Structure 1
Amino acid sequence: MASRTAPYLPAHEITGPEDAPVVVLGSSLGTDRHMWDAQVRLLERRYRVVRYELRGHGRSGAPQAGAARTTIADLAEDVVRLLDHLGIGRAHHVGLSLGGMIALWLAEHRPERVGRLAVVCSAAHSPTEESWLTRAATVREQGMGAIVEPVTARWFTDTYDDETTRARLRQTFLAVDTQGYAQCCEAIAGMDLRPDLSAVAGPVLVIAGRQDTALPPALAEEVAAGIRAGGADVRYETVDDAAHIAAVQQPATVTRLLLDHLDADRPGHATGMRVRREVLGDAHVDRAQEATTPLNADFQDFITRYAWGDVWSRPGLDRRTRSAITLALLMTLGHDGEFAMHVRAALRNGLTVDEIREVLLHVGVYAGVPVSNHAYALATEVLRDEGLL
């Protein structure tokens, strides 16, 4: 049953346009809202982002001790109470670790409050209930310093060499209120969301850190499978070279996955991303997405929705014809990098080497021999790389 402890209102921070769709970000146990800094820089360009902090974490005050153990429902109702306080009815929910567990509970029990759902490095149950209760008792008796080393050691892989970030997150952990931390541990200990996973409506993105030992990928796979069993649309992704706090260790990859997932509801975006990947290939689009910054985020969104979602998706010309036109224009305008990229795209769209040759020859007549000569050289490099010459 929810609300077995005193009603609690989490601290929070809101950024982004007031009239934009709302995205709620929930952090991992022992961290604060700054865990999401890298993602917020891009999300807040087109979403109203609400970052809440768990009981006793960050700027959230110390909670009162409850007569009964805190449950995951208690923590989730904290978030509902916050959304009510802010006048937010329905929002997309993204959560990492405990934040993901809270988001899952909301999707199961408060589906009217959840749009798209993203669960990162999380689980639907704890296979080690006693260890969480022991951890809660330890911090109450000895403080956060008693567990800081073994806990934070699992946040990153050994290859992660950003010592400044490691030190900052360690200090964040040590500053957490012991009562708040212990209550969160109790909630994880008694949690089992598996029976209701099939009730989650989706769409859902589930992300796992490949080297996560705190909540291994098998637990994330279990979440994805349980939701998929109910017929919901689920995408499961594993992030390489990432342990438990994947959003910090691999910010570009996690941000790309979140934007792909959340942006699917934006007009033209889902169609544009599908066509863009079909024409240019996943590897190229992934590189472009991972290189997204606050400077070029709007441009990436623009070309996905308008160039690929609107123009390339129109039924008036097939993709082979569009590729031939694109090659001719890029040759004539001297856009070498884009021309090479679209030679590969033309092959994906079904143009043969003979047909590409004819396009280059035809443009030589109308745009000039030097233009065509240079294009032949560029195309030759690409076709040799593809093993076609």
Structure 2
Amino acid sequence: MSFDPLDHDFERGLQNRRNVLGDAWVDRSLNNATSFNAEFQNLITRFAWNEIWGRPGLDHKTRRAIVLSITVALGRWEEYDLHVRAALLGEAGSRLTPDEIKEILMQSAIYAGVPAANTGFTHAIAILREVADQIGYVLEPSAPGAVSHSGTGREGRTTSTPALHYSVREPRSGKAPRHTVVLSHALGCDLDMWDGLANVLAQDCRVIAYDHRGHGSSDAIDGLYSMAELADDAARLLRELDTGPVVWVGLSMGGMVGQELALRHPSLVRALVLANTTSGYPQAAREVWEQRIVTVRERGIEAIADAVMARYFHEAFRAQKAGTVARFRRRLVTTDAVGYAGCCDAVGKVDTTARLGQIGVPALVIAGELDQGTPVAMAQALAEGIPGASLTVLKEASHLSAVEQPEGFNQAVAGFIGTL
């Protein structure tokens, strides 16, 4: 069993903290940490910013309002000032206007004596039992130890080997899933890269994300891998989870696996989203992949990390979102070197071009306008090779387009799935 050195709760929490408070404030807090308060900074990042702010049940704008109300009620003025400032200067989707903050303060003046949470739950459960039939709500017994974080899903590992680590998010609607969607990550990443899209789709779909062999918490086995082996890994996972045909969303290596899966195991694929990927590299590029394997084996992943980040993210994004880039760099350099090199061989030798016409499911191809690793021309070749496939090009996006342009990427994927 592989050991993953990353603390995923901390990484997720740190990203939420940056999204809400901004990079400057977070960097200042982290840089000012000392041996006296570093553990406290770790705790609030994992619990406040992952366990609470990472839950998709409320949007960040609503959570801002709650924080302001509570800090007013408790007289926590330093924290209040921080969140007022962050709310006024925050990203457009979660920003509060001065008038909205005024209304929060008006209501807080009346309601600042909040009942204890335990009593509140007791009263709420009693009311739910009274109105359950009217609102179509089923109040069922549930074991606290068996529930999962709604923002990250239930985690597991395949019983077949090499064992694959995965997460499953059931539809938040409470209804039967419209589709089962599988999210397949890029080389040097892990299933965390899909948190944003997964939580969007999990409103009415069952969403599965997983770590490829040699990545994250999945097993790494010695040797070089083939794309057929990676596709067979995916097929094992889907059969263990009894998914039936799935909508496959894959980026870069994940898109290559999706192509091979659709060709080798067509009964498992309902539709394909192939992002920032290709069906084959020219010989010169294959030689570059071979050299990368040599470098990683001789000098480690750190030796290629900066070059990879330059391919993953364009220059302006790297300047504006240094914290996000640092997060992906940490993930890259902590990936098992054996597994990374093994997957490099599969990626470098991907070869589905001549077989694309055999793919018989709806397909959306997504390209990044600035992608150097898999340029738009490669995406066009995919779209032209797969019968009936459509192509979407995202502006101001490089190789990890789902990270650089999440709103546009999510809209493209959700819109495509809505047509199925």
* TM-score where L is the length of structure 1: 0.63
Aligned counterparts of 1:70 and 1:220: Cα–Cα separation in 2: 24
Contact 2:214 2:221 in 1 (8 A): no
Aligned residue pairs total 253
Contact 1:121 1:215 in 2 (8 A): yes
Measured against aligned partners, the alpha-carbon deviations of 1:260-297 in whole angstroms (never above 9, x if no partner) come to 111112xxxxxxxxxxxxxxxxxxxxxxxxxxxxxxxx
Unaligned runs of 5+ in 2: 1-159
Larger Rg: 1
For 1:119, the equivalent position in structure 2 comes to 274
Residue 297 (structure 2) pairs with residue 140 (structure 1): yes
For 1:11, the equivalent position in structure 2 comes to 165
For 1:53, the equivalent position in structure 2 comes to 211
CA RMSD of aligned residues (A): 1.4
Residue 265 (structure 2) pairs with residue 110 (structure 1): yes
Residue 306 (structure 2) pairs with residue 149 (structure 1): yes
- TM superposition outliers: structure 1 runs of 4+ over 6 Å: none
Residue 392 (structure 2) pairs with residue 245 (structure 1): no
Shift of 1:7: 4.2
Map 1:1-389 → 2, pairs under 5 A: 7-17=161-171, 19-20=176-177, 21-61=179-219, 63-66=220-223, 69-127=224-282, 128-160=285-317, 161-227=320-386, 232-265=387-420
Q: Secondary structure at the match of 1:126?
A: coil
Read off the aligned partner of 2:303 and give its amino acid letter: A
Q: Secondary structure at the match of 1:186?
A: helix
Q: Secondary structure at the match of 2:315?
A: coil
Q: Secondary structure at the match of 1:153?
A: helix
Contact 2:231 2:257 in 1 (8 A): yes
Q: Secondary structure at the match of 1:154?
A: helix
Contact 1:9 1:82 in 2 (8 A): no
Aligned counterparts of 1:185 and 1:262: Cα–Cα separation in 2: 30
Contact 2:369 2:394 in 1 (8 A): yes
Contact 2:162 2:218 in 1 (8 A): no
Contact 1:26 1:52 in 2 (8 A): yes
Shift of 1:89: 2.4
Aligned counterparts of 1:23 and 1:41: Cα–Cα separation in 2: 11
Contact 1:210 1:238 in 2 (8 A): yes
Contact 1:9 1:81 in 2 (8 A): no
